[in-house]
């Protein structure tokens, strides 16, 4: 396994629409394992393939590991099939270092996808897991959390990002 480099804003790969995975081979399994290792090393609670430079529809997440045993999840070609309610909570993104801001999301989601064995998986999620699933699936569409903010807040954060970039 390997820790991969996390692509940061404004890398163009973060703005691409990721391609569907057509079949799960050894290379894809390796990518999923490397993504999990990269996520735990960051540390983060979710990661989408475009964040490591692979424009493919694969996400990994683990929302429970800080409280106990690691519970790694891999989802291939995930799709939100139902959503309910609204909830505002603070989010961060490994591709937007230093930015933490409230984001409005659906409170509950149902997500369908496939695991690494090619079996269909259906997940009912709420709370932090629902939030992370929506955040990761956004990455597959080339969408970042800043796109979900008010214009005024977007403007403020883009100024902050520009300044941070100039100082790198």
Contact segment (CB under 6 A) with ligand GNR among 15-23, 45-53, 64-72, 107-115 equals: 45-53
Q: Which of residues 79-98 bind Ni ion (CB under 5 A)?
A: 93
Binding partner at 132 among Ni ion, ligand GNR, none, C-beta below 5 to 8 Å by kind: ligand GNR
Q: Which of 136, 140, 149, 161 binds ligand GNR (CB under 6 A)?
A: 136
- Assess 132 for contact with ligand GNR (CB under 6 A): yes
In the bound complex, what is the minimum distance in angstroms from residue 120's beta carbon to ligand GNR? 23
Residue number, 117 or 149, with CB nearest to ligand GNR: 149
Nearby residues of 95 by Cβ (< 8 Å), 6 or more positions away:
6, 7, 8, 9, 11, 14, 51, 139, 144
By C-beta, is 131 or 148 nearer to ligand GNR? Answer: 131
Task: Give the list of residues 6+ apart from residue 125 with CB closer than 8 angstroms, or none.
Answer: 108, 109, 110, 111, 133
Residues in the chain: 168
Q: Which of 37, 54, 136, 167 is catalytic?
A: 136
Q: DSSP 3-state helix, strand, coil percentages of the chain (rounded to 5)?
A: 35, 30, 40
Closer CB to ligand GNR, residue 28 or residue 135? 135
d(CA 69, CA 39): 15
């Amino acid at each position: 396994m390997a820790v991969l480099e996390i692509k940061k804003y404004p890398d163009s790969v973060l703005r691409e629409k990721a391609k569907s995975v057509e079949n799960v081979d050894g290379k894809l399994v390796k990518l999923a394992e490397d993504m999990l290792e990269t996520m735990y090393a960051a540390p983060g609670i979710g990661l989408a393939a475009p964040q490591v430079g692979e424009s493919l529809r694969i996400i990994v997440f683990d929302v429970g590991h800080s409280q106990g045993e690691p519970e790694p999840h891999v989802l291939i070609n995930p799709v939100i099939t139902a959503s309910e309610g609204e909830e505002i909570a603070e989010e961060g993104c490994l591709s937007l270092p230093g930015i933490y801001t409230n984001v409005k999301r659906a409170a509950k989601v149902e997500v369908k996808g496939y695991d690494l064995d090619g079996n269909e998986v259906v997940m009912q999620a709420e709370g932090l897991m629902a939030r992370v699933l929506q955040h990761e699936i956004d990455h597959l569409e080339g969408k970042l959390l800043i796109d979900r903010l008010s214009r005024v807040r977007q403007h403020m954060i883009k100024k902050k990002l520009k300044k941070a970039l100039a100082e790198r």
